[in-house]
Structures are given as C-alpha cells and as structure tokens.
Amino acid sequence: MSLIYKVALTMIRNVGHITAKNLLAHFLTPEAIFAASKKELMKVPGIGLQTANMILSKEPMTRAKAQLEFIKKYQVQVLFITDEEYPYRLKDCADAPVILYYRGNADLNHPRIISVVGTRKATAYGKLLCKQLAETLAPYQVLIVSGLAYGIDVAAHQESLQNGIPTVGVLAHGLDRMYPQVHSHIAKKMVLNGGLLTEFPSHTNPDKENFPRRNRIIAGISDVTIVVEATSKGGALITADIANSYHRDVYAFPGRVTDLSSEGCNVLIKTNRAGLITHARDLAYYLGWEICEAETVGVNPELPAELPAEEEQILQVLKTSAASIDELSLRLALPKSKLALHLLNLEMKGILIALPGKVYQLNQDISS
C-alpha cells in the first residue's frame, strides 16, 4: 500500500477520522478511495458532493507529497491505522487517529505502558511523586507516556530519562516544531530513549483545539493513566475522563483538601473516577505485576550515603523514638511546611513510616 495515499487520506479538507474510516470500510484501501468515481464516493456516509469533489481534486495529493518530503528528510515513521505497528491499544478506541507520525525508538506496543498526567503548575509534592514513580517503576520495564507540557508532564519525562525508562511525548502540533520551545532539549533526548508522537502533520501549530485530541491519544495508547496533581479544571481531568470512557484504569494521588493543585485528584477519587494510590508500589499491585520481575523488590531499603542536612537532623531525632510533626517542628526549629516536604521525601525513600496522627518513626528494616 503506497504511503502517499495513506497520507493523502488525512489531507482531505473537512474529512475527520470518522469519515476517513467510513471511506476505508467501503473501499478497503486508500488507493481505491482516490481511484473511485464521484458517484461511488457519494455512496459513503458523510460524503456529499463538495467532499467528493475535494477527494478528486489535486489538493490532497499535493499536500501529501509535501508531507512525504518532510517525512523522508527527518526520518519520520508513519503509522497507518491498518498497519501492524500501529499501537494496538489505541486502535481499540473508536476515535483513534487514522494516521500517526512518530520519531523515536520505543515500542508503541510495549507490554507495559503508563500515561502520567497532571497540572502545568506542579508543586514540589507533585515533582517528588514523579520522581518516586520513575524510581519505583524502572525495574518493571515500563514505557511512560505524557504530553511534554509544563509541570507534571515534563517532570514525568525527565524522571523517566533519569531512571533509564523510555518515555514518549504526545504532541498537539507537528513534528517540525516544539511547544513549549523550552522543552526542545529534553525532546531531543526522548527521541534517543522513547520518542515523539503526533497525529498532526508538519506545519501544524499547537492550537487550543488540538490539545483534547492529543489527550485522547495519551489515554488510549496506555494500559493505565496516573493523575499526579490536578486542579478542578484542565487537561489532566479531561484525559482521565477519556481513559474512563475507554474502560482503561485510572489512578490518582490524593492531596490535602486545601491544596488547589490536588483538588482535581481528590474529586476523581471521591467520585470513583480514579483509584487511590499513595505509592508507586500500589500501581504494581493493582495491575498484578509479578514482583519477581522487579530487580529490587524484596530488598530492604538502604540509607543513602548522603542526605540533606535537615533530613539528617530529622533522623537523629527519630532514632530515639517516634515523633509527631509538631514535636519535630519544635525540636528542629523548622516550619511545618518545609518539614512536611522532608518527611514526605524520607517516607518515599522508605526510610520513615507515617503513623496515624502525623506521627513518624524510622523504618526498622532500613539497612544502614
């Protein structure tokens, strides 16, 4: 099947994925669509006289030829919906794109794909959760997908690369540009360990209406969507709802009820639109992953060789007995807001255990 006809099918003005799939269902191949008569074309649902004339015009093929030049020059992989390499999870979704443009080396049909989404205004808490996710899931040989936006998205990509996890960014524009531009450096790294994926041809700008379309790919390409931090409105909640509509698992990290950046996560959990996770280990448990596949599971956590000075002070206090956050704040002369971040960091490293009443104690299984 010639590539130019596949690309040309998506270059017909006012023909979206539904009509394109109707055409494919009727004619079976893209070549047959462009070889059909006007009368034959108009037998297809959604094809009127104007659209039939557009298909038979020179414009779709002219635009496709220009796109092929870009594809060849930048070694872009084209994934058509009937191709074996097309992501099978996404193909199962009714509104899957007819075509995808891809630069990278990650397998888009990887056995374990996780989408990570969240607010563009990530807090230290959200970034720490991304770090914990990547560190914990690395031994499980996952592929992490996100949207390369500010905040949680880019934190997920950065932590994935830091931990040797392939990571794919789904874009709301063509592969000839990067939005936001400041993420160009990480995008280049992702092409070497992961990739960049979009349904949009070159010269497509990141227009507002493209982002919900981008979000459906993030939700549809993965086994599970994790919402790290989210406000009450925004793309993360849209992605979670799309994933639910695809009957895919959705999980969210809870946050304090007073934190606007966690309001969306709390609502998802409260309304049963997302399962609650408090640690990345929960995810492996819920998905039924065999722990023997993780190289580090079953090994007691070790005390890092070096810790920030304030975290060392916390450990010195807790060596004698458990203490509440109020006690620690008084003894160490640290504000609770700063102390809470250190405690969370130590808990995620497995060094501390949180008890009811905001009381903390050392993990007795820790290896010093």
pLDDT tens-digit profile of 172-196?
999 999 999 999 999 999 999 999 9
Q: What is the pLDDT of residues 321-356, one digit of tens each?
A: 889 888 898 889 888 878 887 887 787 677 888 777
309-366 CATH: 1.10.10.10
Residue 200 gets which letter from DSSP?
S
Question: DSSP labels for 122-134?
Answer: --HHHHHHHHHHH
For 12-60, the pLDDT digits (tens) are 988 888 899 999 998 899 999 999 998 899 988 889 999 999 999 989 9
Question: What is the pLDDT, as a whole number, of residue 368?
Answer: 52
Strand partners, 361: 353
* Secondary structure in 3-state letters for 298-322: CCCCECCCCCCHHHHHHHHHHCCCC
Among all chains, which residue has been given the structure tokens 């990141």?
Answer: 206
Of 121, 116, 117, nearest in space to 134 by CA? 116
Strand partners, 323: 360
CATH superfamily of domain region 3-73: 5' to 3' exonuclease, C-terminal subdomain (1.10.150.20)
> What pLDDT was estimated at residue 60?
92
User: Angle at the Cα of 200 (from 194 to 205), degrees rounded to 5?
Assistant: 105
**Domains of the chain by residue range:** 3-73, 103-287, 309-366
Show the tokens assigned to 209: 């209406």
The predicted structure's pLDDT at residue 297:
39
> Which CATH architecture is the domain 103-287 placed in?
3-Layer(aba) Sandwich (3.40)
Closest CA to 116 of 178, 158, 177: 158
Omega cis (within 30) before 335: no
pLDDT band at residue 304 using 50, 70 and 90 as cut-offs:
low
